[in-house]
Structure 1
Amino acid sequence: MPAFFPVKERVQESNMCFSNLVQQDAPTTKNKSMLIAKVSDDFHSPILPGLPDDVSKHCLALVPRSHFPAMGAVCKRWRSFIKSKDFIIVRKLAGVLEEWLYVLTVDAEGNGSHWDVLDCLGHKHHELPPMPGPAKAGFGVVVLHGKLLVIAGYLVVDGTGSVSTDLYQYDSCLNSWSKLASMNVGRYNFACAEVNGLIYAAGGCGADGESLSCAEVYDPESDKWTVIESLKRPRWGCFACGVEGKLYVMGGRSSFTIGNSRSVDVYSPERHTWCQMKNGCVMVTAHALLGKKLCCMEWKNERKLAIFNPEDNSWKMVPVPVTGSSSIGFRFGILDGKLLLFSLQEDPAYHTLLYDPNAAPGSEWQTSEIKPSGLCLCTVTIKA
């Protein structure tokens, strides 16, 4: 997404925010002993009476995804299994993973942001419950093991702005939020991505609006952030993707006053070091990982889709078949191995563009009926 200045205006998409979570009542004291006893019974009872747990897990994994929240309320053992990484693995082995698109939308006036959940046919399933904590902007979004992670960001409370270190996780199977370990450094407008089951965050803007070069990595197994080697120079308004076991950071600006950065920073987790490439994109307004290739759109040229192939570090330019204003603007979504282009303009007549890289030459572009309920701010695809 593009970034602007001064400092407070460098918070990208200031309407990308959430409402406060409605707090639920805690159990009364007289019910606590009964609750503890019930939890203990849940942990020691079989998942399904009369069946080995391995068979029971396979049975639960075959249930359609829309029923997971109800299943999680049955007992502690079911809930523990459904929220585990193993649950996604069993469903993948059984070939029953369902792919849903999560779209953060806002109305035409820039108010009322919420997440829509769409299936591959564009049918809306539900809205996500509000995320805990104050409304934020400039945060990072990553998907890991069927869960949505919302990282850091810029927030304003009682007229005072601050930078967050918070990490929140949305469990797509149980339809619930939880708070995880805080980052070492608060930041917004930064790059983040998943690589080999770990979450990396690099660059961005700090508490005083300064450009950052520091980076860190989150391990979900230990629920801990660890500082890693910094970028070669400060970088903000950038984005990242993980391909073939490496982290690619590109786009954005290298400092507050100096122009755009075209170089690409590549981090190798095996070597724990950064290296640089010289042929990146600048001022990227939309990006998405399509298979093992990165699709980008630059602010200066929204009539062409730039596709990066990390195998040979090459770019391919694909014309976008749009008519009308050259500044129409798009956000990207991924479903079923295809790229969706959602318009940033309120136009009831607009049909979502669909790019299929595997289609026959000349047939790569089509239209789709999949459409968010409001203006699209960002999307993630979750298989579970």
Structure 2
Amino acid sequence: MLLCLILVSIGRTQNGYTWQLGAQMPGPRQELATGALNGNVYVLGGFDAEGHSTDTVLVYYPTTDTWTLAHPLPYGVNHNSAAVAGGDLYSFGAGGGELFVYNQNTNSWAARASSHYVHSQTAAVGVIDNKIYVAGGTGTPSQRELEVYDPVANTWTVKAPMSVPRNHTAGGVIEGKFYVVGGRASDFSGSTDALEVYDPQTDLWSTRPPMPTARSGLAAAVVDNELWVFGGEDVLDFVVHAEVEVYNPATNSWRQLPNMPAGRHGIWASAIGNKIYIPGGGVGPGGSASNTNQIYTVETAAANLGNISTRAFVQTGDNVMIGGFIVQGTGTKRVIIRAIGPELGQYGVPNPLADPTLELHDGTGALIGSNDNWQTTILGGIITHDQVQEIQDSGHAPGDARESAIIADLPPGNYTAIVRGVNNTTGVALVEVYDIGAGTSSILGNISTRSFVQTGDNVMIGGFIVQGTETKRVIIRAIGPELSQYGVPNPLANPTLELHDGPGTLIASNDNWQTTIIGGIITQDQVQDIMNSGHAPADSSESAIIADLPAGNYTAIVRGVNSTTGVALAEVYDLHQ
């Protein structure tokens, strides 16, 4: 069960996103770096109007829309980098690789350990667990190098390199992973559209769908667990870009939004809350610094439940895997439904289902679509034409030809996805529903998955994502005994429920909903709240948790007490619809 909450002044409003111009910088700048510290935006170095490197540090105060000066950098820089980690502002990526940290109390800069490589000409920067990640840039052996700075130890560590060499690039961190996008290898090569992501847990890079517009000298920031990319240039075509493009890791896809009011290159973006600040930048190709202060506000709507995913052991007969979801609203919702098996093996999942099949049923139980091997479309029901190219274009094509997928435009109603093994084979599989129709008048609603819960690696595991600036109040349930009244054989007699956050930390648990387990995010008795929700389980041995969850990834795990097995139902209900 993957739940994704897709959230979706001169003042200029663009389909829920607002541009405005703040007070102009005291002087023009481009090829600069910025950092957001204590609610203010610091602009470090860059070229001035005459093309000279500057040591100036400007500070923008959003609350008063005013600028002031901070202590200058130790020397003039351009195409430099900046980061805020552990409440401190750092400047690097210039000179010989020196690193400086700013002290707000004394308004001064102090030297720290230099990096192994310079990472000049604008590297990509991200911060994970208060450590600074710097990728690419010149002054490195291949412009692919990644280094990590630990402020506590005052040390730099070289990590696995990117696959694409680049400078004039940008990056951001989402859910503990470092994304790098765009850039170029030299002034004599074209800009790249490549997007890569680094996982610190594995020290590995992975490729993601390319950005729609190849560009370098761009800016990127993270808001609502999405990577927002702005502006840039292409030096070969003498083009300055104004495009705004957004990558959503939950859907592994890009969307394009209306352009910036004024295209810029040699820029940097810093986010404070749901506002993204983009000061200065080059107006035209080459040196053409400006003093504009463009501010982009991401207007977040109420969170909704979306993308669904559950992993469980698929058996036969009544013990296949059954996923249910609801389309709510007034219009159709475009989704892709997947049944994944073989590719789970590469993630260390034992006994993956070798050849999963997929059926889609409507609220009446009628079969409206099916698939066995996604590269061969089965026409019938709502599937009226070959879907292979659409599945590839969605960004969610399965990784193995034996896995199954269906794209469907669904009107409001209840739907059920059923996963079986070909010829009654068994194994661990993943059933998923991805919302690929963002911006429509319908949403994915309350979700559930029924499967046979075993032990060890074959318990039922569901994940969900909350995106946005608001918290989402949900109730998560693990149902077993009451399934027998619906004729389900061998229900799980006593299901337990765990809730984990993105890093895997246990943040809540329950065994028997009428007894609250205090700990993690559960700070008070929940029995009355569960009863008042209208979703109290019918049997006292079933489990439930109510949670107010901020943006992030979450995992729900259903097991049987004392390693018992049986059929169970895992559900997530949105309590604030």
Structure 1 length-normalised TM: 0.57
The structure 2 residue matched to 1:217, chosen from 148, 162, 187, is 148
Task: Kindly state the Cα deviation for residue 331 of structure 1 after the two structures are TM-superposed.
Answer: 5.8
The structure 1 residue matched to 2:190, chosen from 249, 256, 259, is 259
The structure 2 residue matched to 1:315, chosen from 237, 251, 254, is 254
Aligned-partner residue type, residue 118 of structure 1: Y
Q: How does 1:68-217 map to 2 (within 5 A)?
A: 98-104=38-44, 108-110=49-51, 114-124=56-66, 126-132=68-74, 134-153=75-94, 155=95, 164-189=96-121, 190-206=123-139, 211-217=142-148
Larger radius of gyration: 2
Aligned-partner residue type, residue 146 of structure 1: G
- How many Å separate the matches in 2 of 1:327 and 1:340? 14
Identical amino acids, percent of aligned pairs: 26
Q: Tell me the residue number matched to 1:271.
A: 202
Task: Kindly state the Cα deviation for residue 305 of structure 1 after the two structures are TM-superposed.
Answer: 1.5
Aligned-partner residue type, residue 136 of structure 1: V
Task: Kindly state the Cα deviation for residue 256 of structure 1 after the two structures are TM-superposed.
Answer: 6.6
Runs of 5+ unmatched residues, structure 2 = 1-28, 234-238, 284-288, 303-438, 440-577
Q: RMSD value over aligned CA atoms?
A: 3.4
Q: Tell me if structure 2 keeps the 8 A contact 1:201–1:217.
A: yes
Q: How does 1:284-323 map to 2 (within 5 A)?
A: 284=216, 285-298=218-231, 299=233, 302-320=241-259, 322=261
Q: Tell me the residue number matched to 2:474.
A: none
- How many Å separate the matches in 1 of 2:131 and 2:175? 13
Name the CA shift for 1:331/1:217 in 2 (closer, same or farther; >3 Å).
closer
The structure 2 residue matched to 1:226, chosen from 150, 157, 173, is 157
- How many Å separate the matches in 2 of 1:303 and 1:16? 18
- How many Å separate the matches in 2 of 1:297 and 1:212? 22
Q: Tell me if structure 1 keeps the 8 A contact 2:242–2:264.
A: no
Task: Kindly state the Cα deviation for residue 181 of structure 1 after the two structures are TM-superposed.
Answer: 0.8
Name the CA shift for 1:173/1:293 in 2 (closer, same or farther; >3 Å).
farther
Q: Tell me the residue number matched to 1:334.
A: 271
Q: How far does the alpha carbon of each residue in 1:11-33 deviate from its partner, in whole angstroms, 9 at most, with x for none? A: xx88759xxxxxxxxxxxxxxxx
Q: Tell me if structure 2 keeps the 8 A contact 1:296–1:307.
A: yes
Q: How far does the alpha carbon of each residue in 1:207-251 deviate from its partner, in whole angstroms, 9 at most, with x for none? A: 7xx642222211111110111112224322222211110111111
Q: How does 1:345-364 map to 2 (within 5 A)?
A: 352-358=294-300
Q: Tell me the residue number matched to 1:380.
A: none
Q: Tell me if structure 1 keeps the 8 A contact 2:220–2:269.
A: yes
Name the CA shift for 1:104/1:122 in 2 (closer, same or farther; >3 Å).
farther
Task: Kindly state the Cα deviation for residue 259 of structure 1 after the two structures are TM-superposed.
Answer: 3.3
SS of corresponding position for 1:252: coil
Deviates more, 1:332-341 or 1:174-183: 332-341
SS of corresponding position for 1:212: coil
Task: Kindly state the Cα deviation for residue 178 of structure 1 after the two structures are TM-superposed.
Answer: 0.9
Q: Between Structure 1 and Structure 2, how many residues are aligned?
A: 254
- How many Å separate the matches in 2 of 1:15 and 1:238? 11
Q: How far does the alpha carbon of each residue in 1:232-284 deviate from its partner, in whole angstroms, 9 at most, with x for none? A: 24322222211110111111124675533222221111111111123235314
SS of corresponding position for 1:136: coil
SS of corresponding position for 2:156: strand
Q: Tell me the residue number matched to 1:6.
A: none
